[in-house]
């Protein structure tokens, strides 16, 4: 199954580095495990609504997923505003 990366991480099995917005493909169990850590979007979560509970890195991942250009030093509040436009 394929999902979207929300926060940067290095895959334990392949040692490949993933960045927010990248596609990640793995089995359902692995995706569920990474989703519980907030590293990838859960199945059916594509286009998820941004919330204040998300980390800045997760918000950056949503911006990347939606093709939005984000300033490097954007704050969490700025990211939320950008995603709500």
Tens digits of residue pLDDT in 19-65: 988 888 888 888 888 988 888 887 554 556 677 778 888 888 888 87
Find the angle CA(36)-CA(40)-CA(43) to the nearest 5 degrees.
80
Rounded distance between C-alpha atoms, residue 71 and residue 42, angstroms:
26
pLDDT at 66 over 60: yes
Overall pTM surpassing 0.85 (yes/no) = no
pLDDT at 18 over 90: yes
Using 50, 70 and 90 to split pLDDT, how confident is the model at 15? Answer: very high
pLDDT, residue 10, reads: 94
């Amino acid at each position: 199954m394929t999902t979207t990366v929300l926060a940067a991480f290095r895959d334990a099995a392949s040692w490949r580095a993933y960045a927010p917005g990248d596609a990640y493909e793995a089995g359902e169990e692995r995706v569920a495990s990474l989703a519980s850590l907030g590293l990838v979007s859960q199945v059916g979560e594509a286009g998820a609504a941004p919330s204040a509970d998300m980390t800045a890195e997760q918000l950056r991942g949503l911006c990347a997923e939606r093709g939005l250009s984000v300033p490097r030093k954007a704050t969490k509040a700025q990211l939320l505003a950008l995603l709500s436009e």
